[in-house]
Amino acid sequence: MTLVLVAHGTRDPAGAVEIDAIAAALRDRLGGVAVEVAYADVRGPGVADVLRAVRGPAVVVPAFLAAGYHVRVDVPAQVADSGQDGVVVSAPLGPASALTAAVYDRLVEAGWRRGDAVVLAAAGSSDPRALADVRRAATLLSAHTGGPVRLGYVTTAAPRVPDAVAACRADGRQRVAVASWLLAPGLFQRSLADAGADVVARPIGAHPRLIDAILRRYHDARCYREAA
């Protein structure tokens, strides 16, 4: 079954390069299984267009870290619009302990030191269920950092990332690190550089733990379809 990896989409070429790197890593792990990339928004190809070009059954894996509008409404609608039979949509990627372990690795790579305050920066959503997913991710990340993790959002939800960083300063923390709960480079990731933190981690990207998580979603969905 073809794996169709669905990302949000960004106008930043670096974001598309990172998604392509994730797809390439999946192809290496899956051997002869076809892996296609689709985007839910901003850039093409769209999900329906990719599925119409796929021969045979497919597993659509939404590469989203929280289950907001795109996961619950947009991607299923685009799958339905394709008119293709034999398509199963997996659960989204986050929150999961493997992904927060990847975020922790990126935080350490960026220069975080034990004792630094940590803000987990997420895209934001108006869906309370998506915000609950982000809160869960912060809880999981705190198990790695050994201390509380504040939340900050780039857009839509509050507090915004700069406000969360400022709150850490107000608590007397001399060093503040921002962990990125984002998949790939883009406008949201670039905005973190202006948040006033001492350390800003890069997004998860093609981290081996992310690849493992996508493969688990793919195999679980494939087994479900074959058993149905």
Q: Looking only at Cα atoms, what is the longest distance across the chain?
A: 58
Give the pLDDT confidence score for residue 140 in this predicted structure.
98
Nearest to 134 by CA among 148, 146, 145, 120: 120
Q: In Å, how far from its chain's centre is CA 132?
A: 15
Give the pLDDT confidence score for residue 5 in this predicted structure.
98
The mean per-residue pLDDT over the stretch 114-129 comes to 95
**Structure tokens of 2?**
């073809």
**Structure tokens of 39?**
């985007």
The Cα 126–Cα 77 span in angstroms is: 19
DSSP assignment of 71-118: IIIIHHHHHHHHT-SSEEEPP---S-HHHHHHHHHHHHHHT--TT-EE
For 53-81, write each residue's pLDDT tens digit: 999 999 999 999 988 888 999 999 999 99
pLDDT above 80 for 155: yes
pLDDT above 90 for 22: yes
Residue 188, amino acid: F
Residue 158's CB: how many other CB atoms inside 10 A? 10
Q: Is 67 helix (H, G, I), strand (E, B) or coil?
A: coil
pLDDT above 80 for 225: no
**Confidence (pTM):** 0.94
Give the pLDDT confidence score for residue 57 in this predicted structure.
94
The Cα 72–Cα 91 span in angstroms is: 10
Structure-derived torsion over alpha carbons of residues 196, 65, 1, 38, reported in degrees to the nearest 10: -50
pLDDT category at 19 given cuts 50, 70, 90 is: very high
pLDDT category at 38 given cuts 50, 70, 90 is: very high
**Contact predicate 191/154, CB 8 Å:** yes
Does the domain at residues 2-93+207-227 carry the CATH identifier 3.30.465.10? no
**Contact predicate 84/54, CB 8 Å:** yes
Give the pLDDT confidence score for residue 224 in this predicted structure.
75
Radius of gyration of the chain (CA): 18
Q: What is the 3-state secondary structure (H, E, C) of 1-47?
A: CEEEEEECCCCCHHHHHHHHHHHHHHHHHHCCCCEEEEECCCCCCEH
* Domain residue spans of the chain: 2-93+207-227, 97-200
Give the pLDDT confidence score for residue 228 in this predicted structure.
62
Give the pLDDT confidence score for residue 113 in this predicted structure.
96
Does the domain at residues 97-200 carry the CATH identifier 3.40.50.1400? yes
